[in-house]
Amino acid sequence: ADQNLLSPNLTAIATEFNFSDNQRDKKLGGDIAIAFFMVGVPASFLVGCLADVLNRRSLLFLWVICIGEGACMATYWVRTYQQLYWCRALTGCSVGGALPLIYSVLGDYYEPKERGWVSGAISMGCGV
């Protein structure tokens, strides 16, 4: 999921929905970003806890990605602001849920002495 999908297109989206400059800033620059993280943060905690107790992390990863990326893909077909709002909020599930799951899986694959550089490499990749 890409949390920066809307940023370069705020004016075009505001024009599509007939928003004023203030509505653009509040709804697209503020409300949708807040919704993205308000769903992503709890998803992070939930998926992180599930990753610690479930043996089938690959299935959990599939569900997290399908929910988030499905909503991200559905953004293409939105026709109303409410549809865009909920698609972007659900995309937060993927971003919030994937990170603790990735680190949990890495903890299984790598020895404790190797986890530092692996975590660093993953963190650098997330920033790109």
15-24 pLDDT per residue, tens: 999 999 999 9
Tokens of 22: 């203030």
Give the CA radius of gyration of the chain: 17
Residue 119 and residue 106: Cα distance in Å, rounded?
8
Tokens of 41: 């943060």
SS3 content of the chain, % helix, strand, coil (to 5): 85, 0, 15
Give 19-73 pLDDT, tens digit per residue.
Answer: 999 999 999 989 998 998 898 899 999 998 998 888 888 888 889 889 888 998 9
Torsion angle of alpha carbons 38, 44, 47, 48, nearest 10°?
-150
What pLDDT score was predicted for residue 127? Answer: 65
